[in-house]
């Protein structure tokens, strides 16, 4: 068995300045706990100053891990987060 990679697209509730966006990314990184690992985290321009975050998470391909949905659900409960959605999943 290998690893599974998932893309979680995160949208904030409002336009955030760089310091708030960086703090938000640090808070998101704290949510991803072993055995899950962050593969990549990128800021993406959406429209009219609104920027989203693309989070790539890698987890072992083992039964009972829960997948990516629990991580997205935890992120969506955070302050300043409008939504966190798993948009792509694949094997490494």
For residue 52, the enclosing domain spans 3-91
Question: What domain count does the chain have?
Answer: 1
- Domain containing 28 — which CATH number? 3.30.70.60
The secondary structure element, H or E, covering residue 79 is: none
The secondary structure element, H or E, covering residue 58 is: strand 50-60
Nearest to 6 by CA among 45, 36, 44: 36
Q: Work out the percent of the chain whose per-residue pLDDT is above 70.
A: 96
- Report field, pTM of the whole predicted structure over 0.85: yes
CA atoms within 13 A on the CB side of 5: 10
pLDDT digits (tens, 9 = 90+) for 40-85: 999 999 988 899 999 999 998 875 567 899 999 999 999 999 999 9
Contact between 88 and 82 under an 8 Å Cβ cutoff? The reply is no
């Amino acid at each position: 068995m290998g690893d599974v990679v998932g893309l979680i697209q995160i949208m904030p509730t409002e336009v955030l300045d760089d310091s708030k966006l960086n703090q938000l990314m640090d808070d998101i990184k704290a949510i991803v706990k072993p055995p899950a690992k962050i593969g990549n985290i990128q800021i993406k321009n959406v429209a009219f100053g609104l920027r989203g975050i693309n989070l790539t998470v890698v987890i072992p391909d083992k039964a009972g891990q829960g997948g990516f949905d629990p991580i997205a659900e935890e992120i969506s409960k955070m302050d300043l987060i409008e939504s966190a959605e798993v948009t792509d999943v694949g094997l490494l």
